[in-house]
Each structure stands twice: as structure tokens, then as C-alpha cells.
Amino acid sequence: MELLGIVYMKSFIMKTRSDIQAYLKYNYPDDMDKILLADGFDNAFIGVENYEPKKALYDTNKCLDILMERDGMDEDEAIEFFEFNVAGAHVGEHTPMFVDPYHQSWLEYNEGDIDFYKNW
């Protein structure tokens, strides 16, 4: 599926590194050796930015969930670790990007905050 120049992998499927590499090989054969993947966050992979330079895209919230479940961090520890060591790591022009995709559940969870944003 392509939306706004981004090709997405279905996010509800458990992903392995070999799944992602097969996806890259099929969709980005000329770029697959350049696109950098974030170690340990395969299940948070959502796709590839379609503009140059090509970059792997990850769901920030899923990355935080992985840190909390896999590494036993609480939410504050996961956010601090993620911001400094994962999203804050720059390893060249193909450094992965981390995005906050829109989720309908956000509206349901933050129902009381919606008026604030409507009036902002």
C-alpha cells in the first residue's frame, strides 16, 4: 500500500528480519543494500520512505512497546532510551526514520483532550 510517498508493510503481521529483507528485495532491489534497519525493532517496521534517500520507517509506539516488553523498561525509561539511543542515533543519510502513525484509538483514549486541539 502506498500513501503520501510511503510504502507500508501491513503492521499487524509479526515481522522477522528475513521478511523485511524479502520485502526490500522485491520492492527496492536497487536500494536494499543502502536501507539501514534498526536492530531489535523488526516488528515495528512499517515501510520505506519513497523519496531519496530511501529510509526504513518504524512506528515509534511499537518501538516503545518492544522496549517495555522485551527489556522490562517502564514507559519513562523506554522513552528516554529510545530518544537517545535509537531515534537519536545518526548513522548516515539512510538512518531509519521513526514516525507516530495516526491511530483511531488515540481519539478514544484522549477523548477529553480533543476539545483542546479543536480550539488550538
pLDDT at position 79: 96
pTM, to two decimals: 0.77
3-state DSSP: the chain helix, strand, coil percent, rounded to 5?
45, 15, 40
Q: What band does 95 get if pLDDT is binned at 50, 70 and 90?
A: very high
Q: DSSP assignment, residue 10?
A: P
Q: Which of 6, 87, 94, 91 is nearest to 41 (CA)?
A: 87
- Taking the alpha carbons of 48, 53, 59, 65 in that order, is the dihedral positive or negative? positive
Residue 42 has pLDDT above 70, yes or no: yes
- Residue 93 lies in domain: 2-118
Give Rg (Cα) of the chain.
16
State how many domains the chain has: 1
Which helix (H) or strand (E) is 104 found in, with range? helix 104-109
Peptide bond between residue 29 and the one before it cis (omega within 30 degrees of 0): no
- What is the C-alpha separation between 66 and 72, in angstroms, rounded? 9
Per-residue pLDDT tens over the stretch 49-73 = 989 999 999 999 999 999 999 999 9
